[in-house]
Structure 1
Amino acid sequence: MRITLVAGSNRQNATSTILLKHIESILLEKHISVSFIDLAETPLPLFTPDNWEFHENALHLIKSIQNADGLIFSTPEYHGSVSGALKNALDYVSIDKVAGKAVLSVSSAGGPLGISSLTHLQTIVRNLHGINCPEWISIGYGTNTFNEDGTPTDEGTRVRVQTVLNSFIELTKNLSHKPVVSS
């Protein structure tokens, strides 16, 4: 199984990215192959449909998404929506790269929770024909602190992450092993 994680903040040490790195460590412990794209370290030019000669970072993103069995997108919540960096990245991705794949949405907010960003992200995923995981992860103030190793300090957050990841992994397995129907 291959999972591509996209950290959708262009801010260094963003809590949404730290949370995604924690998720990556859990996946690696489960011996799941991971591709991690951090948009703060791999910036993308502003997408325009007038230019289809994509920057090498955009080509890397597209290939990583195409080769994945499942996808995890994280975003900070900015003004009730996803980050511009993540939206721009997803604008590079065509439906055929996401269709039928399990997608987990993860957010971090300066307020209680990033619910608006998650619903917007799930709408984007639906429009790319991805299969939204019925669970999601959102952290807000009080739960967005981490130990030196990147583990959330809040026990409830650690349990929630593990529970949601288990659900996502099961969904990804089920979707990536669909039997081929011949006519």
Structure 2
Amino acid sequence: MPDVDAPQVTVRFWAGAQRAAGHGSETATAGTVGELRAALAARPELRQVCAVASFLVDGQQAGDTTRLHAGAEVDVLPPFAGGSAPLIVGIGGSTRPGSLTNLLVERCLDQVAALGARTVSVMGPALSSLPIYSDDIDPGESSELVEAVRAADCVIIGTPGYHGGMSGLVKNALDHLELLRDDVRPYLDGRAVGVIVTAAGWQASGTALVSVRSAIHALRGWPTPLGVTVNSAEQGLDDPQVAGALQVLAGQLMEFATWRASARASAR
């Protein structure tokens, strides 16, 4: 809990933090940056932002133990604010209009965009135009998908569960990533991959999730700790549990992108 005599400070939100807060600044009372972070994170709309944000006090980088003084200006900066934002690519594996799978992918993309990411989506209609993958395929036919993944820092894959596995549409799309085999980052190497599965039953959701994660491992990607499974017979887009799971997934993707960016910067 904040000290009863804690000073009042001005909190300024930037980039995705400003979008999440809904305004550019406010006043708050806290004795340390850690207390302020905790108070802000208690608000649902700022929880994910505060998990990955950095804080400046009067323009200087500050840690959670940094003491605050009356009148201090505290800036809340999501990862990459003012810098190169990560690119997160969403792949939606359904061609059905109004597909729950695609809507969930788009909702998760909205979440990472609110945290400061750039986003690109390659949805079912684009995937359905891909020919069945073979070694002699014309690479131009899958250039939209391949170029998006090549540039991506993280990927979100959404699929309906079909008879215990991912849809054929998604499997074929992943097969086309063979065209990245000679890249410096081949396949899904160096990328966190979040998975969203919808199916009319928990067993089907779970087995489909395992099949997608197995393919991600084969492509050298990093499945996120949380895989989002949605039982479409019991849950919908606005189910609180589904909304919460998408928030967690978005936060994990952004944390991974932040760690990778920090590692690359320190290696220069």
Task: Give the TM-score, by structure 2 length.
Answer: 0.60
1:155 aligned residue (217, 240, 243) = 240
1:142 aligned residue (228, 234, 243) = 234
Alignment of 1:1-183 (within 5 A): 1-43=86-128, 44-51=130-137, 53-56=138-141, 58-94=142-178, 95=181, 96-112=186-202, 114-140=205-231, 141-143=233-235, 145=236, 152-179=237-264
**Once the 2 structures are TM-superposed, how far is the Cα of residue 45 of structure 1 from its aligned partner?**
1.3
Contact 1:101–1:176 under 8 Å retained in 2: no
Moved over 6 A (4+): none
Name the structure 1 match of 2:38: none
Q: Distance in 1 between matches of 2:259 and 2:122?
A: 24
Q: Which amino acid letter does the alignment assign opposite residue 114 of structure 2?
A: E
Question: Could you list the per-position Cα deviations for residues 29-72 of structure 1 after superposition, in whole angstroms to 9, with x for gaps in the alignment?
Answer: 22310010002244211111132x2343x111000000000011
Per chain length, whose mean CA-contact separation is higher, i.e. which structure has more relative contact order (CA < 8 Å, sep 6+)? 1
Contact 1:4–1:71 under 8 Å retained in 2: yes
Contact 1:6–1:36 under 8 Å retained in 2: yes
Query: Structure 1, unaligned stretches of length 5 or more?
Result: 146-151
Number of equivalenced pairs: 173
Q: Distance in 2 between matches of 1:176 and 1:97?
A: 19
CA-based RMSD of the aligned residues comes to 1.8
SS in 2 for 1:121: helix
**Once the 2 structures are TM-superposed, how far is the Cα of residue 153 of structure 1 from its aligned partner?**
2.1
Q: Distance in 2 between matches of 1:38 and 1:100?
A: 23
Please tell me whether Structure 1 or Structure 2 has the larger radius of gyration of its CA atoms. Answer: 2
Q: Which amino acid letter does the alignment assign opposite residue 211 of structure 2?
A: H
Task: Give the TM-score, by structure 1 length.
Answer: 0.86
**Once the 2 structures are TM-superposed, how far is the Cα of residue 105 of structure 1 from its aligned partner?**
0.9
**Once the 2 structures are TM-superposed, how far is the Cα of residue 161 of structure 1 from its aligned partner?**
1.3
Contact 1:3–1:70 under 8 Å retained in 2: yes
Contact 2:159–2:197 under 8 Å retained in 1: yes
Q: Distance in 2 between matches of 1:172 and 1:111?
A: 32
